[in-house]
Amino acid sequence: MPCCFDALSARLIERAGFPLTFMSGFAVAAARHALPDTGLLSYAEMLAAGRDILDAVSIPVIGDGDTGYGNPANVRRTVQGYARAGFAGVMIEDQVAPKRCGHTRGKEVVERAEALARMRAAIDARDEAGDILILARTDARATRGLDEALWRMRAFAELGTDILFLEAPQDEAEMAAFCARIPGPKMANMLEEGVTPLLPPERLQALGYRIAAYPLTLLNTAVYAMQEALDELRARVDFATIQDLVGFADYDLTLARYSRNDPSAFGETGGGQNLAANERE
């Protein structure tokens, strides 16, 4: 599942034949506002970005709902709004607001009771809205250890969330433990140079994952390509140099020699004087 950040990237994913995409909060913040993924974008801004994406494609799109943008009532509104917009799923996480990218330092998670309340609110809104799935995410591995992260994943599954996402397991053994010990469909996050090892899709499937998300692959590639193009533009020589290289200066000097106002074009004697006499006649 390559992740998108605007309508064009989503359409390219669809045309490449991928069956679904995910609207990455990190990538949207970077592409639309050149901002870090630190909870700076609002519910309305993310929903607007999502509508642009949904208008451009027919494949299912999962939306990044961050922490739900507030208390359980806000979570309900987020899920309902994403459902009305046409998202196939919405991700709700247990970080303290404002949240951070899952592979950066400084993030914290809320206590268990608040995390469970968020998920109950998301599930209630899903049941009322109908056609949307809840992707439940925990970031507890980074600050409270694997056992706490697995406890939360199991609790979210027992509440009735649809897809489970343990963010940033640190090795393949932790990924295997998550898949073996927790029931339900699971998503792996394949972030280049992130905390989690990059595994091929076949290995992820063998471990028990159902979805492999690539959150920044397209954004990284786009930034690299634009930087390369800009470096090439900056390295190109100026127009005056090109003109000199192909001989414009010599060409103009040659024409000047044959100008009617340049006697030297006919030599120092003879021709110029005779021409002048003929012109007087």
What's the whole-number average pLDDT of the chain? 91
pTM: 0.84
Of 163, 191, 170, 190, residue with least CA distance to 65: 163
Q: At what angle do helices 112-129 and 72-85 cross, to 10 degrees?
A: 30
pLDDT digits (tens, 9 = 90+) for 128-176: 998 899 999 999 999 999 999 999 999 999 999 999 999 999 999 999 9
Same domain for 269 and 198, yes or no, is no
Please list the alpha-helical segments (H only) found in 86-216. 112-129, 140-144, 146-159, 172-181, 201-207
**CB of 21 closer than 8 Å to CB of 61:** yes
Same domain for 112 and 216, yes or no, is yes
Same domain for 83 and 108, yes or no, is yes
Residue ranges of E strands in the chain: 3-4, 21-23, 61-64, 89-93, 133-138, 163-166, 187-189, 211-213
Query: What range defines the domain where residue 176 resides?
Result: 3-227
pLDDT value of residue 8? 97
pLDDT digits (tens, 9 = 90+) for 61-94: 999 999 999 999 999 999 999 999 999 999 999 9
SS3 at position 6: coil
**CB of 152 closer than 8 Å to CB of 182:** no
pLDDT value of residue 260? 66
pLDDT value of residue 104? 64
Same domain for 220 and 244, yes or no, is no
* Residue 120 domain flag: yes
* Residue 232 domain flag: no
From 187, 203, 227, give the residue that closes a domain.
227
Report the CATH number at residue 62: 3.20.20.60
Token pair 């930034």 in the structure block, residue: 223
* Residue 197 domain flag: yes
Per the DSSP assignment, residues forming a β-bridge with 213 are 189
For residue 67, the one-letter residue type is T
Angle CA 157–159–162, to nearest 5: 50
Same domain for 247 and 208, yes or no, is no
Same domain for 223 and 241, yes or no, is no
Distance CA 111, CA 95 (A): 9
pLDDT interval class at 269 (50, 70, 90): low
Distance CA 26, CA 12 (A): 19
Domain tally, the chain: 2
For residue 194, the Cα-to-chain-centroid distance in whole angstroms is 15
Same domain for 218 and 267, yes or no, is no
Same domain for 125 and 191, yes or no, is yes
Distance CA 169, CA 171 (A): 6
Same domain for 241 and 194, yes or no, is no
